[in-house]
Structure 1
Amino acid sequence: MKNFFILLLSIVILYSCESKPDRKFNIEDVISKTETQLTYACNIIKANTSGTKVLPRSVEGDKLIMVPTSDWTSGFFPGSLWMMHDLTGDSKWKDKAIEYTHLLESQQYNTGTHDVGFMMYCSYGHGYKTTKNEKYKDILIQTAKSLASRYNDTIKCTRSWDHSTNLYTYPVIIDNMMNMELLLWASKATGDDTYKNIALNHADTTIKNHFRADNSSYHVVDYSPETGKVLQKITNQGYADNTAWARGQAWGLYGFTVMYRETGLKRYLEQAEKIAKVVISYPNLSDDKIPYWDMNAPKIPNEPRDASAAAITASALYELSGFSSHKETYLEFANQTLSTLVSDNYLNKVGTHHGFLLDHSTGNMPKNSEIDVPIVYADYYFLEALKRKKELHGK
């Protein structure tokens, strides 16, 4: 009996010492730290601006990677500045956000990428919500026209990539769900249901073809533009075609949550909840809730994490919790995730990493690109998650 109690005590001590995320943190302290780091980022970016390369994207080695406004990530830094204004109320962030947002003005006419939704709604969209500047509204409406030009009514989706024509005929990626918000906004702003109908058709086609029986999603579905027939289903940025590329699951979760918010259609809430169940229940997910770049990668736990997928997921779950009967489950998971992201393991020290907020994101592992580094969209969705958590506390 004595040995039994010694064994039991040992188990209790071992369990209590296991590393687990701290679910409580002072959100104002985190906001203050990120504000200081973003100030540092603005100085670094100004010093590294050269020619058309005017916006930060990531870090390679110890080098800051700057990109032109045509890069798909170009809207995230201006969006982060708008987000910091929301978090602090300080007008200096509004002024800085306006400065960087204006750099993207010409992209309203860019019909060569579906990512104008990311590029312009994260920047001008956020700016319009804040300022109600009519010029911003006109720019966003023109951007929606550019995005709508990529729609195929036979397939009932907007085309994603124009590149890699040797690999795809008409590729549609799960990421494209993130661009539907711009179209839904444009319908409300103009009274023209054309944009909304495109978004509805795209979302419905995505539900039909992108998801597996277990509700995880492929990255790319390739279609015939003449017949609408599915030609192939693959996972370009994941480990294999049948695996769960983490950021892809996060894009889907966020995108369908937005679809429900903007339409109130139950099928989109149900789809978001299905994806949430996948993300929350990954068999290989660690206690800190930060996913590996692909949740079926063969060398887990010795695979790179993706903090960007975690930030997108946390932000989406904070919003989804307001719509779903699974509110407490979603809030618990989002809080655990965010508490890890604000820890020293992920939140960069002020004055380091060229001003990026989060470390340990993975861009495109199969192409050996942006692996285990800071990436700008991770910062954007991290700030949005902080904002949503703060708003929930306020309520």
Structure 2
Amino acid sequence: MAIKGLHSLPTPSLPAMAPIGTVSTMFILLNFISQAIAVPSELYSPLVPQKLLRTFNSLPKPIQYPQYTDSSRPGKWAFFVPDTWTSAFFPTTLYEMDRRRTLCKTLNASGVDVDWLQLGRSASQGLVSLPGHNTQGHDVGFLSFPFVEELKRNPGNQTAINTVNGFARDLAKRFIPAAGVTRSWDNDNQTVVRVIIDNMMNLDVLFSSAELTGNQTLVQIAKTHADTTIKNHIRADGSTWHVVEYDADTGAVLSKHTAQGFSDDSTWSRGQAWGIYGYAQMYSRTGNPTYLETSRRLATYFLSHIPSDGIVPWDFDAPLKDPKVPGGVRPADSSAATIATNGLLLLGSLDEEDADKWTSAALEILDHITELAWKPEWDSLLSNGTVNWPSNNYLTGTVYGDHYFVKVGNDLLERGLAHC
């Protein structure tokens, strides 16, 4: 079933002098949407800065980073070494809090009087040595996030420049020309190229580095990977496989299956969310309408398969009843929901034809997942994340789910859909 109320918004009356597609028209549409669907107050709760500051002060030394909450200590962060795919999300969230300070035009608008930029810079230091010396495969794109944010504030920061370029080199080295993709996960058999849908979110570091260096080969790698993924990773109905394996010599598809989803033919919701967001980013970078249409297709599938309660499940095809889970109900994935809201908001800012549809859908998903997953007593901002159901890691907080929760709050502020 589609999200309740997704297409039920009445059409606003626009001024006669405002042509369709202009900035003024878009502003009116978005402000109408913000009034029709309430923005969750938890996005701007004083608990957000309080929890983030508490987590920063609890980072181990030598530095480790939060990834998910520990099942043996519910609600408490488990910390991991820097050479972990999720390590950059917490520092990047601190940069997002600095962005919120700028948006709200006061240092302590978020309720805590600290210099978030300095905290972000400090927490990022544990990642600086990773380019060329990590085991994260394609996820170096995620690891580049705080350094990309630093360059928005200080374009001449040579450490950030070197780090972004280093991570881009790492990713570019994984490109397999015959297959037309960058290798996601390493495996013992190098003739098999394993690619996951998540990789779409890592391509942006190639564009960031190309802007710094002028190296257009990086852009071509990103485009080729995105084009190949459209051909082989996306089903006719707009759903996605999690994993596709290619022959490194011929580019032939060897298999399509899942690693974190319910079954090889199911649709893992977080992977679908990465795809929505990744193709929206590709369109914003290139203007190629094929990428916009692909993001639309993935978003349409995502939205049409959310159940009537509005809660994003960990896999759209997993059984509704799950005896393994407390309460016997299919787990949600709050991270899939927050990633999707960011992707949908970006899509709404790019797709003038359906801007109101994507934006209202993002707000409604955000409203439902916040109501379900907001946990004031936890270290994480949200609960009800599913890290990896096949590995029995669910009903957790996730650092990436929290990151995209904070980021979507900032995007709403920036677009006039919420207020400080």
What TM-score, normalized by structure 1, do the two folds share? 0.87
> Following TM superposition, by how much is the alpha carbon of 1:167 offset from its aligned partner in structure 2, in angstroms?
11
Tell me the residue number matched to 1:59. Answer: 69
Spell out, residue by residue over 1:237-257, the C-alpha distance to the aligned partner (whole angstroms, 9 max, x if none): 111111111001001001000
Identity fraction in percent: 33
1:118-137 pair list within 5 angstroms:
118-120=142-144, 122-132=145-155, 133-137=157-161
Given that residues 168 and 222 in structure 1 are in contact (C-alpha distance below 8 angstroms), is that contact kept between their aligned partners in structure 2?
no
Provide the rounded CA distance (Å) in 2 between the counterparts of 1:50 and 1:214: 48
Tell me the residue number matched to 1:220. Answer: 243
Tell me the residue number matched to 1:4. Answer: none
Provide the rounded CA distance (Å) in 2 between the counterparts of 1:84 and 1:141: 25
Runs of 4 or more, structure 1, over 6 Å off, are none
Provide the rounded CA distance (Å) in 2 between the counterparts of 1:314 and 1:276: 10
Tell me the residue number matched to 2:83. Answer: 70
Aligned counterpart in structure 1 of residue 53 of structure 2, from 17, 36, 39: 39
Provide the rounded CA distance (Å) in 2 between the counterparts of 1:76 and 1:387: 15
Size of the aligned set, in residue pairs, is 361
Q: Which stretch shows the higher mean deviation, 295-304 or 224-233? A: 295-304
Spell out, residue by residue over 1:60-95, the C-alpha distance to the aligned partner (whole angstroms, 9 max, x if none): 221531101100000100011001111123361101
Provide the rounded CA distance (Å) in 1 between the counterparts of 2:247 and 2:129: 31
> Following TM superposition, by how much is the alpha carbon of 1:50 offset from its aligned partner in structure 2, in angstroms?
4.9
Provide the rounded CA distance (Å) in 1 between the counterparts of 2:39 and 2:295: 28
Tell me the residue number matched to 2:386. Answer: 362
Given that residues 40 and 366 in structure 2 are in contact (C-alpha distance below 8 angstroms), is that contact kept between their aligned partners in structure 1?
no
Aligned AA (1:128): L
Question: Does the C-alpha gap of structure 1 residues 144 and 167 become closer, same or farther in structure 2, counting only changes over 3 Å?
Answer: closer
Matched, 1:296 2:317: yes
Provide the rounded CA distance (Å) in 2 between the counterparts of 1:274 and 1:227: 29
Given that residues 201 and 277 in structure 2 are in contact (C-alpha distance below 8 angstroms), is that contact kept between their aligned partners in structure 1?
yes
Query: Which one has more relative contact order, counting CA pairs under 8 Å at least 6 apart?
Result: 2
Provide the rounded CA distance (Å) in 1 between the counterparts of 2:348 and 2:417: 15
Q: What runs of 5+ residues in structure 2 fail to find an aligned partner?
A: 1-35, 108-113, 323-328
Aligned AA (1:38): L
- Cα RMSD of the aligned pairs, angstroms, is 2.1
Q: What runs of 5+ residues in structure 1 fail to find an aligned partner?
A: 1-21
Aligned counterpart in structure 2 of residue 85 of structure 1, from 87, 98, 108: 98
Secondary structure (helix, strand or coil) at the match of 1:393 reads coil
Secondary structure (helix, strand or coil) at the match of 1:215 reads coil
Secondary structure (helix, strand or coil) at the match of 1:171 reads strand
Secondary structure (helix, strand or coil) at the match of 1:127 reads helix
Q: Which stretch shows the higher mean deviation, 239-248 or 53-62? A: 53-62
Spell out, residue by residue over 1:143-200, the C-alpha distance to the aligned partner (whole angstroms, 9 max, x if none): 111110111111111101114x479921000000011100012112211111000000
Provide the rounded CA distance (Å) in 2 between the counterparts of 1:141 and 1:275: 30
Aligned AA (1:115): D
> Following TM superposition, by how much is the alpha carbon of 1:131 offset from its aligned partner in structure 2, in angstroms?
2.5
Tell me the residue number matched to 1:310. Answer: 337
Tell me the residue number matched to 1:24. Answer: 38
Secondary structure (helix, strand or coil) at the match of 2:129 reads helix
1:92-103 pair list within 5 angstroms:
92-103=115-126
Q: Which stretch shows the higher mean deviation, 188-197 or 253-262? A: 188-197
Query: Which of the pair is proportionally richer in helix?
Result: 1
Spell out, residue by residue over 1:295-330, the C-alpha distance to the aligned partner (whole angstroms, 9 max, x if none): 110135811100000000001111110111111111
> Following TM superposition, by how much is the alpha carbon of 1:24 offset from its aligned partner in structure 2, in angstroms?
1.5
Provide the rounded CA distance (Å) in 1 between the counterparts of 2:375 and 2:70: 16
Tell me the residue number matched to 2:270. Answer: 247
